[in-house]
């Protein structure tokens, strides 16, 4: 079978906005309400672990009541359509929610970690954790109490899967960025990596991102509208 196209899609919080989750840098976003230094850095966690646990517990509880929107579904359907044609779609997400998986995407890399997972700061073991975390919890792996943290990547920490992402980008026929402001690296640099390899790059966002100029195609509007439209056209090609 002929090898079908290989797409790498990067998503940010804008893809989950219409599912009811807040973005970070919009005017009513999470960083308008919280100081990221207090709740999303290792120093913040060391200074006040209870505050950080409360921040993530509130966000983790929201996961139970939300559903994927048409953008998540379109990406899951595109993944199935491409693999049936001998191609592949990899979703690299900055999001810590599980909406891509709920929509049926199987090939997902959470480069900033996952809200529904917890990790021990001592033994480094991680596992599914749908409930609240606190400083009183014993690590289920090493038994030490008080070292459990959300398995998310904080500012100043190294994102996950960077080697796999670089490998996928090097083999990609198309790079698509959806619902991200392009404010945080290394994710914001992926478009430049792809352009350096002469890979066509598409931005699908509510408004131009910080690196809109680096894209070869740009479409603006709500993800639930422009992502299904783009995916339909891509599959029809
Ligand atoms: N449809 C499409 N795009 C949208 C929608 C929507 N309905 N609503 C908002 N957006 C766009 C905004 O215009 C903005 O460009 O989504 C983008 C969200 O940008 P940010 O709030 O900066 O979120 P994100 O890019 O995901 O942040 C990256 O920063 O704080 C860290 O770890 C955190 O993963 C996060 C990273």
Q: Is the CB of 18 under 6 A from ligand 1?
A: yes
Residue 13: pLDDT above 90? yes
| Active-site annotation, residues | 112
How confident is the model at residue 237, as a pLDDT? Answer: 84
How confident is the model at residue 3, as a pLDDT? Answer: 82
Residue of minimum CA distance from atom 29 in ligand 1: 184
How confident is the model at residue 2, as a pLDDT? Answer: 58
Q: Are 93 and 37 in contact (CB under 8 A)?
A: no
Q: Are 25 and 207 in contact (CB under 8 A)?
A: no
Report the first-to-last Cα separation within the chain, whole angstroms. 17
How confident is the model at residue 152, as a pLDDT? Answer: 98
Residue of minimum CA distance from atom 17 in ligand 1: 180
Q: What is the mean pLDDT of residues 160-167?
A: 98
Strands (E), 17-121: 88-93, 108-110, 113-120
Residue 186: pLDDT above 70? yes
- How many Å apart are CA 94 and CA 177, to the nearest integer? 11
- How many Å apart are CA 56 and CA 158, to the nearest integer? 19
Q: Is the CB of 70 under 6 A from ligand 1?
A: no
- Ligand 1 center–CA 139 separation, angstroms: 33
Which of 181, 186, 203, 210 has most ligand 1 atoms within 8 Å of CB, for mutation?
Answer: 181
Helix, strand or coil, per DSSP, at residue 110: strand
Residue of minimum CA distance from atom 25 in ligand 1: 180
Residue with tokens 């890979």: 199
Q: What is the mean pLDDT of residues 11-16?
A: 98
- Ligand 1 center–CA 123 separation, angstroms: 33
The token duo for 68 is 């994927």
- Ligand 1 center–CA 107 separation, angstroms: 21
Q: Is the CB of 212 under 6 A from ligand 1?
A: no
- How many Å apart are CA 171 and CA 151, to the nearest integer? 29
- Ligand 1 center–CA 16 separation, angstroms: 9
In the sheet where 113-120 sits, what is the strand order?
A: 126-128, 113-120, 148-152
Q: Is the CB of 6 under 6 A from ligand 1?
A: no
Residue of minimum CA distance from atom 5 in ligand 1: 14
Residue 37: pLDDT above 70? yes
Burial 52-77 (b: 16+ CB within 10 A, else e): bbebbeebbeebeeeebbbbbbbbbb
- How many Å apart are CA 237 and CA 224, to the nearest integer? 21
pLDDT tens-digit map of 111-143:
999 999 999 999 999 999 999 999 999 999 999
Q: What is the mean pLDDT of residues 64-72?
A: 97
- How many Å apart are CA 3 and CA 20, to the nearest integer? 37
Q: What is the mean pLDDT of residues 182-211?
A: 97
Nearest by Cα to 110 from 171, 164, 191, 31: 164
Residue 1: pLDDT above 70? no
């Amino acid at each position: 079978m002929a090898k079908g196209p290989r797409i790498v899609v990067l998503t940010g919080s804008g893809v989950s906005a219409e599912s009811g989750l807040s973005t970070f840098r919009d005017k009513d976003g999470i960083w308008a309400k919280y100081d990221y230094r207090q709740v999303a850095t290792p120093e913040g966690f060391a200074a006040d672990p209870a505050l950080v646990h409360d921040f993530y517990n509130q966000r983790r509880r929201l996961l139970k009541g939300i559903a994927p929107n048409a953008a998540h579904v379109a990406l899951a359907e595109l993944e199935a359509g491409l693999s049936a044609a001998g191609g592949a779609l990899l979703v690299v997400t900055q999001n810590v929610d599980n909406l891509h998986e709920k929509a049926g995407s199987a090939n997902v890399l959470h480069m900033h970690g996952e809200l529904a997972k917890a990790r021990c700061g001592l033994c480094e073991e991680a596992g599914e954790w749908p409930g609240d975390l606190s400083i009183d919890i014993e690590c289920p792996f090493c038994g030490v109490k008080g070292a459990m943290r959300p398995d998310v990547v904080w500012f100043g920490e190294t994102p996950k899967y960077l080697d796999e992402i670089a490998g996928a980008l090097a083999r990609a026929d198309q790079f698509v960025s959806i619902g991200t402001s392009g404010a945080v690296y290394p994710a914001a640099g992926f478009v430049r990596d792809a352009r350096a390899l002469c890979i066509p790059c598409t931005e699908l966002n509510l408004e131009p991102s910080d690196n809109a100029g680096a894209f070869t195609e740009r479409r603006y509007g709500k993800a639930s509208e422009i992502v299904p439209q783009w995916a339909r056209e891509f599959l029809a090609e």
